[in-house]
A and B are shown apart, each in its own frame.
Chain A
Amino acid sequence: MQIDLKQVEEAAKELYIRALKRLPPDIKEGFTGLVRRETSATGQSVLATMIRNIAVAESTDNLLCQDTGLPIYNVEIGRAVQLDGFALKQAIRKGCERATTEHPLRSSVVHPVTRKNEQTSCGPRVPVINIDFVDAGEHLSIEMIPKGSGSENNTFLHMAIPADGIDAIKTFVIDCVLNAGGKTCPPTIVGVGVGGTGDLCVHLSKVAATRALGSRCSDPEGAKLEAQLTDAVNQLGVGPQGLGGDATSFAVHIELAATHITMNPVAVNMQCHSARRARATWTPAGLEYGF
């Protein structure tokens, strides 16, 4: 399968704008579940405002949140796809820039030392482009995630030791949620990376935080931990926006990797209630947009 890179550029632009405007159906359903369980009046009123905001964004064709985030593109390439990988990265970057200047969107991206904003949502190594090769045939998919800073600023890595065991992981997750309070715009999805190297652990926490609600960790131990921790964080009473209530998190998601005999790393990355993502998929039938 050949891919038209001009179409990739258009899709990279379109995906950024779509992601900012429409919340995926699993997140909307997640809200319904939280409303059903929320016992605090403040919590109920905060959730109601969030749900109203989703409707206003749709009816006014506006962005859900002002924060256009750090742009992330996750690319999955099937086995029967031929393309020039470098040109693909250039096309994505160009599309990201065009979304920013043509919509227009706020460029939230600055040089880390000079703090200069090029007004393009691009800079050194940004947009983040992750590429993976998957066991599928004629299949290319690009997922776009505008990662808001309120939640991203609450990213933590703890290089625990084997003697601390699983207790260290559980305690760290609870403490991260406590320390984040309302700063992450709860209800959140708490992404937890367990194992790997330090950098892989943090990366996995992001993968977990941006996974669709309702999905489970493919490892049975990870899935068990997800269920336990989801219940636990929602006992803390942080609540929507940190103003108190039951709905602190939609879910805790875990992704894990094997680690070293001497290591026990755990990382936490949060996703806010504006858990935005959009996906473009190419198959022999053509290009299709979804979540």
Chain B
Amino acid sequence: MAHYDFHMPVTEAQVRALKVNDTVTLHDTLYGIRDATQIHMFDRGRTTKFDLRGHAVVHTAPNVRWVGETAAAPVGYEPVCVGTTTSDRMERFTRPLMEQYGVRIIIGKGGLRQGSLDAFRDLGGVYLAVIGGAAALETTWIEQIEDVDLHDLNPESLWKFRIRGFGPLLVSMDSHGASLYTDVNTQARERRAAVLASLGVKG
């Protein structure tokens, strides 16, 4: 169980070095992405101006405040509360995000499925768990909203955040086929029969 500090973007080798139960703290740049963002990118033919190669995306749709463009808010938005949403709904976008845009790290909550685990193995990627619902804390890791694309989808735009000390985040799916979610789920299902028996349920 090692800890890593990553200054984004990262290389494939850096990501492949990670194993489940390691922890990672990210610095510099992070992109925010969501259901509608990816529906528009992958189902409706829209593209982004951002170069996402080697970068991390977090499943989010932030609360923002419009303050007008200033040095501190280059595109006019100040972060109010930035947290993380359930990743599972965005499962089918993992592979295209990696194949077409070169994304290496996906940050979310609740985990992704086998298809994503395969993509991480094939293409060199990793899933980092942030604690869902701990958004007030997560917001303190965000320095600024640097840029925004697909603006019309607000709050589900593609956000570019400047971050400092974003983490520690737990590696919960790695590029070697390991997933804490699968492990926990398998164990829980193994306990199902005993739990039902303890409730007096006749099998």
Contact = CB atoms under 8 A, between A and B. Distances in A.
Q: Which range contains the number of B residues in contact with the other chain?
A: 35 or more
A243 B135 contact: no
Contact of A57 (B36, B131, B136, B194): B136
Interface string A184-215: 11000000000000000000000000000000
A241 B137 contact: no
A49 B130 CA distance: 10
B196 A244 contact: no
Contact of A53 (B82, B85, B134, B198): B134
A244 B180 contact: yes
A232 B198 contact: yes
Interface string A152-171: 01000000000000010011
Interface residues on A, range: 35 or more
B61 interface: yes
Interface in A28-53: 42, 46, 49-50, 52-53
Among the interface residues B21, B154, B201, B202, which one has the most CB atoms of the partner chain A within 10 A? B201
Contact of B172 (A149, A178, A243): A243
A181 B82 contact: no
B202 A167 contact: yes
Given A115-B36, A174-B196, A49 B140 contact: no
A68 B85 CA distance: 12
Given A243-B184, A274-B133, A170 B196 contact: yes
A238 B136 contact: no
B63 A60 contact: no
Contact of B191 (A50, A103, A236, A273): A236
Contacts of B85: 66-67, 149-150
B64 interface: yes
Which of A49, A65, A170 has the most chain B CB atoms inside 10 A of its CB?
A65
A182 interface: yes
Interface of A: 42, 46, 49-50, 52-54, 56-57, 60, 62-68, 103-108, 115, 117, 119, 148-150, 153, 167, 170-171, 174-175, 178, 181-185, 228-229, 231-233, 235-239, 241-244, 272-274
